[in-house]
Amino acid sequence: MSSHINGVKLVFPENAATKEYAASLDAADPLAAFRDKFIIPSKANIASKKLAKPKLSDEPCIYFCGNSLGIQPKATSKYLEAQLDTWSSIGVHGHFTDIEDSPLRQWQLLPAQAAESMSKIVGAQPSEVTAMGTLTANLHLLLASFYKPRASKHKILMDWKAFPSDHYAIESHIAWHDLDPKTSMVLIGPDEGEYEVSTEKILSCIDQHAEDAALLLLPGIQYYTGQFFEIKKITEHAQAKGLVVGWDLAHAFGNVILHLHDWNVDFAVWCTYKYGNAGPGSMGGLFVHEKHGRVDYSQGDDAPQFRHRLAGWYGGDRSVRFKMDNKYKPTPGAEGFTLSTPSAIDLTCLCASLSIFDETSMAEIRKKSVQLTAYLEYLLLRNTTDENRQFQIITPSNPEERGAQLSLLLKPGLLQKVAQKLHEAAIVCDKREPGVIRVAPVPLYNTYSEVWLFVQQLRAAFEE
């Protein structure tokens, strides 16, 4: 079996299904050292309900759940200690003082510190990115700015199986404008019996509703199937038909290569606790293309012209923020969409994780990810046929159409048993009813040997 990426064929040799071959891949892995930058939960701890720190002598579990929650970077405690020491030692002055030997900037500049790192991950200019809020809150804020329905153009086109928070957000904005989701929300789904939604199907739906559609919102990577959509092609087509285009990058951030600026995306939102490893419920990020973030003072300093948004104090320019004269002077770029003083603690955890991404590149991360996921697919399908296999991989087989995740749709009645057996084997991956197990080997901390062992344990679970 072989896979292709960017025209390069990945071929696995005859001995690829051996433990020794997996170990040889790990030995040649240029990102292998990054695993030591994370704290891998131990087998003992995930089986216990007591609070305990992992010990160096503990055997690690196999953690394939980074698509739901990434594991903790070792840098997090170091960064948090510096943050707490700043708070305890100088109090309010932490907002304006750069501390020597600290990995963190003064508090009011922490969003910019995070934005510089995140902009490299999503392919944007630093001014087009900011760290704030959470994914759904940020989606609501940007919809308030970008969804401007009219009687003739009011529909929102979205994914058939969008994550519930996106679905709820879209419904609520449509209702906010006294419209009916039944007529103003259009779900784009796959053909009968399929799980992938082809680009052609999406473009056809855009064409079908072009006259009365106002906005398109899709996930960069579909959370259930793991499908990576053609963001550039879809964005260009939708904008040519007069639609505003936004993307939910919850499962794409830190996972696949993105070029949001060059792709001319209007806006995007993401969380940072999955492949971003910033911690449960960590601060989210957003992208607003520079064309939407401009501030025009041609009519005078007291009459700035800018894209309407739900404004807040922290979105005001730092040069006049503390004048407190209630004359709103928005910061150009994505930072102008900020509302309140952001949590320095949350930003600290985010910056700690981003410091790891700063040591490599998305190109290197993606290169390993493609190989790691292809190896998982090879082992899963080896020596099996559609007839005797206990599962179906519903993630696209083309590496260019997926990220680190493979979604396995099990035969009816197997989900609970298989999930329990994997748990007993100290393998962490998640399940989605009625029958999907999502497996996500993350290139920054997972290994080829772990992929090999997972497949052995999965097969054993089917046989028991």
391 annotated to bind ligand: no
CA distances, 46 to each of 49, 59, 423, 427 (Å)? 8, 11, 9, 9
> How many Å apart are CA 230 and CA 206, to the nearest integer?
14
378 annotated to bind ligand: no
* CB distance 334 to 142 below 8 Å: no
248 annotated to bind ligand: yes
163 annotated to bind ligand: yes
251 annotated to bind ligand: yes
* Element (DSSP H or E) covering residue 206: helix 199-209
CA distances, 296 to each of 147, 149, 286, 305 (Å)? 22, 25, 22, 5
CA torsion through residues 385, 387, 389, 393, sign: positive
> How many Å apart are CA 277 and CA 273, to the nearest integer?
5
136 annotated to bind ligand: yes
> How many Å apart are CA 276 and CA 114, to the nearest integer?
12
325 annotated to bind ligand: no
Residue type, 445: Y
338 annotated to bind ligand: no
* CB distance 281 to 288 below 8 Å: no
Cis peptide before 73 (omega within 30 of 0): no
212 annotated to bind ligand: no
166 annotated to bind ligand: yes
* CB distance 224 to 436 below 8 Å: yes
Greatest extent of the chain over all pairs of C-alpha atoms, in Å: 75
> How many Å apart are CA 148 and CA 219, to the nearest integer?
21
Residue type, 397: S
Q: Are strands 285-288 and 267-270 parallel, antiparallel or unpaired?
A: antiparallel
> How many Å apart are CA 128 and CA 120, to the nearest integer?
11
Three-state secondary structure call for residue 387: coil
Inter-helix orientation angle 199-209/231-240, to 10°:
10
Cβ contacts of 204 within 8 Å, gap of 6 or more: none
386 annotated to bind ligand: no
DSSP secondary structure letter of residue 136: H
CA distances, 40 to each of 43, 45, 72, 253, 336 (Å)? 9, 10, 8, 21, 38
Residues within the annotated binding site? 135-136, 163-166, 248, 251, 273, 313, 341
Residues within the annotated binding site for pyridoxal 5'-phosphate? 135-136, 163-166, 248, 251, 273, 313, 341
